[in-house]
Amino acid sequence: MTEGWPPDPHSATPTRWSRPPAAHLPGHLLQLLGALLGVVGAYLITRHLAALPSTFLTALVLAGGSVLSGRVLAPWAWWGVLGVGCGSLLGSAMVVAEKIQSTDPHEGLALRLGILASLMVAGAIGGRSFSLDAAHPGRRPPKETLRSASALTTGIFAAVVTLAFIHSGLDEARAISSRLSTSLTILVLALSGPGWLVHLLGDRGGSLGQRIRSAGRPSGSEGGPRKSMQ
């Protein structure tokens, strides 16, 4: 019988048999796997929902992901959270593009307003979360999250258009690219506008509060004990 097998469950020293299978994978492969699973799962779910439920689910995912993105997570888990957010955004953009194109512009006003409102709330929550992360030295910088999310979204966009070209030809790929680009621009603007505004107001409010607290403190010459004249 091979030495070390079966592993002793009471042993304090972990063996290669007691480690989970994922522990044997390289770090970069784990990160890629986490992002891929997050993207595919979120895209398939939001892609097959109606426009408003899909966008509402995406808003919840993005708001929660913005809160988690600055926390201390394992690299594969962080990329998984990022993949879920980007995949859900692309899936909702596809659904929104198809729904708006197939409805009368005058009849879909309530739907469009509901879509924008849910994303604006998510963007405001994300802006506040990123402000807190930027002010906390122990958290991941927001610029790293935004840069990685932008690159991942661009990659998913290119993959969707390429798969459409393989499946249906150039004309269908061109149509999907145009619709997806338009809807994605609208959704990203609905997210980033309120997020940037909340982030800006939070920074200014924090700076103002710090100046008020500093002004309220007595200076060293006034508040300290006076030395007697010799």
- Distance, in Å, from the CA atom of 66 to the CA atom of 82, rounded to the nearest integer, reads 9
Mean pLDDT of 104-112: 77
**Single-letter amino acid, residue 22:** A
Task: Provide the 10 A C-beta neighbour count for residue 218.
Answer: 8
pLDDT digits (tens, 9 = 90+) for 157-190: 999 999 999 998 999 899 989 989 999 999 999 9
Hey, where are the domains in the chain?
Answer: 30-215
The answer, yes or no, to whether residue 214 has pLDDT greater than 50, is yes
Cβ-contact 57, 88 below 8 angstroms: yes
Mean pLDDT over the full length of the chain: 80
The answer, yes or no, to whether residue 9 has pLDDT greater than 60, is no
Confidence of residue 46 (pLDDT cuts 50, 70, 90): very high
Short-list 93, 219, 213, CA closest to 157: 93
**What tokens appear for 59 in the block?**
């808003």
Mean pLDDT of 106-134: 89
